Amino acid sequence: MAVVLNKISSPGWTREFPDLPSAVVELRKHVCRGCLSGAPEEGEPPLDRVEDGILVECHDAISLLNTSCGYEFSLEGDHGLWTDD
């Protein structure tokens, strides 16, 4: 089953992906640098970080969805992040 990424805010849209990693790549395109950088002064760590001079990008769907930009999106389908009760 596919993974569906929904943009909830206007103008909304729905896109279908074969798997979660593909959906996360699209989600990252809609999360601004500010959200990816975090707010260390408020105790919010950066999602993307530099380790030994190499940029390590966050590809954790839940972390990305929990940003100010990420709140505009939802995931459906067979992503395995949580169970449907």
- The pLDDT tens digits for 34-70 are 899 887 677 778 999 889 999 999 999 999 999 989 9
Contacts of 34 (CB under 8 A, 6+ apart): 68
84 pLDDT exceeds 60? no
Please tell me the predicted confidence (pLDDT) of residue 25. 96
d(CA 59, CA 61): 6
Which pTM value belongs to this model? 0.84
Q: Over the stretch 6-32, which tens digit does the pLDDT of each residue have?
A: 999 999 999 999 999 999 999 999 999
- Which helix H or strand E contains 76, and what residues bound it? strand 73-77
d(CA 83, CA 9): 24
d(CA 40, CA 56): 17
| Confidence band for 71, pLDDT divided at 50, 70 and 90 | very high
